[in-house]
Amino acid sequence: MLGLPKTTEFNKHIPKQKFYENINVTPALRRIFVEQIKVVYWRNKIAPSTINLEDGNDVTEIEVFEVKLNCIPLDASVLRQIDKEIPYHIIFLLEYEGKYQAWTAYKEKAGSGSNAFKVDIYYHTDWRLEDELGLKLDGLNMDAVYENYVRQIAGDVLHTGVAESLKESVERSKQIQLLQKQIVTLQKKIRKEKQLNRQMELNTELKKIKKQLEKII
């Protein structure tokens, strides 16, 4: 998939119960797996052993999983559970009624010498035909390829026009999301507030947060 070389093809069916057999998986999450996911395929393995790329400092493999859905939208907790079970970076291609949506999380090692990963914020494309996803393998090593895939999938969310690392871009996007949520919450409070003095206090707070957001953007 994604126009990747045949050397990267894996095309292995993964029984979805493999991801929720863990005793720590809640009944609610298990139900989401059963009801929302039809089938999971491990389509590609991007690694120095399958394609002419150098090792990365942080990324050793990128897996491409095709996840066929019974319904949309998919609860992202499902992808988070799969990400926790697989000690590599993953690009998810969700398929529903012939259209695809690419998802990936910013994922980094939890600590030195550990196989555990910290799964952070998820990014995704719009729903498109497979050949319109526009994801290109770009980079000379695994770190660069992974960063470019994340930025392509995230789109404008991570395109800040500022020279910064992927981690810095992700932290910036999280700050923006947090401030935007705070603005929406304050606007709702202002509309409901009856007391003029309290409205003025809330408006002052709103202006401060909007200024913070302008500086980050």
Domain boundaries, the chain: 6-159, 171-216
According to DSSP, the β-strands at 62-69 and 37-46 are antiparallel
Interval 162-189: pLDDT, tens: 678 888 898 888 999 999 999 999 999 9
> Cis (ω within 30 of 0) for the bond into 73?
yes
Interval 126-140: pLDDT, tens: 999 999 999 999 999
Which residues have C-beta within 8 Å of that of residue 5, sequence separation ≥ 6? 50, 51
Looking at per-residue pLDDT, the higher value among 49 and 87 belongs to 49
Q: What is the pTM of this model?
A: 0.84
Cα 10 from Cα 215, distance rounded (Å)? 45
Minimal CA–CA distance to 118: which of 103, 106, 136, 135?
Answer: 106
Cα 121 from Cα 137, distance rounded (Å)? 22
pLDDT band at 112 (very low <50, low <70, confident <90, very high): low
Place of tokens 């949506």: 101
pLDDT at 23: 64
The residue-averaged pLDDT of 100-120 equals: 82
